[in-house]
Copies of this chain bind each other. A is one copy, B any other.
Amino acid sequence: MLEGNVLYGQSGGPSSAINASALGVILEAMEHKDVIHKIYMMHHGIVGAINDDIIDVTDEDVAELKKLRHTSGAYFGNVRYKLLDWKDSEKDYRKILKTLKKYNIRYFFYNGGNDSMDTCNKISTYLQKVGYECRVMGIPKTIDNDLPITDHTPGYGTSAKFIANSMIDIDLDNASYPQGRVIVVEIMGRHAGWLAASSALANLQGHGPDLIYVPEIPFEMDKFYADVDKVYQKKKRCLVAVSEGIVDKNGSFIFQVGKKVDAFGHLRLGGVCQVLSTNVADALGVNSVALELSFLQRGACRIASKVDIEEGEGVGREAVKRAIEGVSDKMIAITRLSSKPYKIEYTLADLSAVANYENKLPRDMINEEGNNVTEKFIEYAAPLIDGELDDTFTSGLIDVPHLKNYRPL
């Protein structure tokens, strides 16, 4: 039995489930007081470990901590920081080691996406080299859902739920009007179309996108006009979902190369939704509106998926359990056992196999025309948005935790 303390850090973009994972780590660690004495959080991920900027949550009130379940953002501070290889520069590693020794850290948990698993892997290798006994575990998190091995990532389900339900509301708005409109909704996803694809779940209620464009399929502007025209002729309205990162056949971002000059010869500005909206209005002579979901989709605890948040907490708990059992250098993965009924188990993935690899939307989840998803995607994604949390709001507002040692920014 390895006695000592826990150090946990958050990394990469904020999400809806990362704080649930923090909670999972904290609550599980609290249940093993014989092994784990103190529970520390890095302030701003690995930079907190480097700079000895550490938050002690051992004595925080459990009822307040539990509010982390429905708290967006990265409550202990996120960071994007690329550790060099220790063979090239040991400076950061020495500082991290100093922090680990100072706080007697024997359990190190790092919560994030591809880059974060890379960080985790590097630290683990270094600690083995210098002979410092510490179990190092990765905890998956990314709304982008682009990690390999794991069936999906915590954070994706809640963002998908926000996106799908927003599409329902937007289509109901669009369907209200006596004049038809084309609405183009821009969804996050620079390289993978998982989030844009999730908009299709709205069609299960008959009010979803007619067309979906993802980065996995090269985008052709003329084909897009023809696609919209076909829908519009039939429905007199059209709802388009588009990943921010769609590219043309040369791999150039459409939000850069798709822009046209306006009547005054000036290059039009705006993101990809603005580009598509303006272009299609010109090409087809229809009314068109652009809408960007922006930050609202990444921290969406106001409309959390219970499945997602429970799994977020679950991977955090599992990481602690396994580490205490002696496991190290692994990321907790989610393995799906069945979709109907939805059933998963937690498994282990090698950190090195996860690090820096992006898992794209597979071709068989995209329709042949490349402008929508297939039934296979719907079966995959539908269970991930299910269920609502029942204790999110107090007097109509998200009940945010107030920890004694909370330090924003």
Contact = CB atoms under 8 A, between A and B. Distances in A.
Interface of A: 10, 14, 44, 47, 71-75, 77-79, 161-162, 164-166, 168-170, 172-178, 180, 183, 201-202, 204-207, 235-237, 266-270, 289, 291-296, 298-303, 305, 307, 382, 385-388, 393, 395-400, 402, 408-409
A178 B79 contact: yes
Given A178-B47, A397-B202, A400-B206, A169 B72 contact: yes
Contacts of A164: 396-397
Contact of A173 (B162, B183, B266, B299): B299
A398 B294 contact: no
Nearest to A170: B295
Nearest to A175: B408
A53 to B, nearest CB: 10
A280 to B, nearest CB: 18
Contacts of A166: 296, 302
A170 B303 CA distance: 14
Given A73-B175, A173-B72, A300-B169, A204 B78 contact: no
Contact of A172 (B73, B236, B303): B73
A296 B235 CA distance: 22
Given A205-B398, A299-B170, A78 B269 contact: no
Contact of A14 (B44, B176, B307): B176
A169 B295 contact: yes
Contacts of A73: 169, 172-176
A303 B388 CA distance: 12
7 contacts: A14-B172, A75-B172, A168-B400, A176-B408, A180-B409, A205-B400, A270-B270
Contacts of A266: 266-267
Contacts of A303: 302-303
Nearest to A80: B178
Given A206-B400, A266-B266, 4 more contacts: A10-B176, A169-B300, A177-B409, A386-B395
B301 A169 contact: yes
A397 B173 contact: no
A266 to B, nearest CB: 5
Contacts of A10: 176
Contacts of A301: 169
A169 B409 contact: no
A132 to B, nearest CB: 26
Given A178-B409, A296-B166, A408-B237, A173 B14 contact: yes
B178 A397 contact: no
A236 B300 contact: no
Nearest to A160: B396
Contacts of A207: 400
Nearest to A302: B165
Nearest to A303: B302
B397 A72 contact: no
B295 A294 contact: no
Contacts of A178: 44, 47, 77-79, 409
Nearest to A19: B172
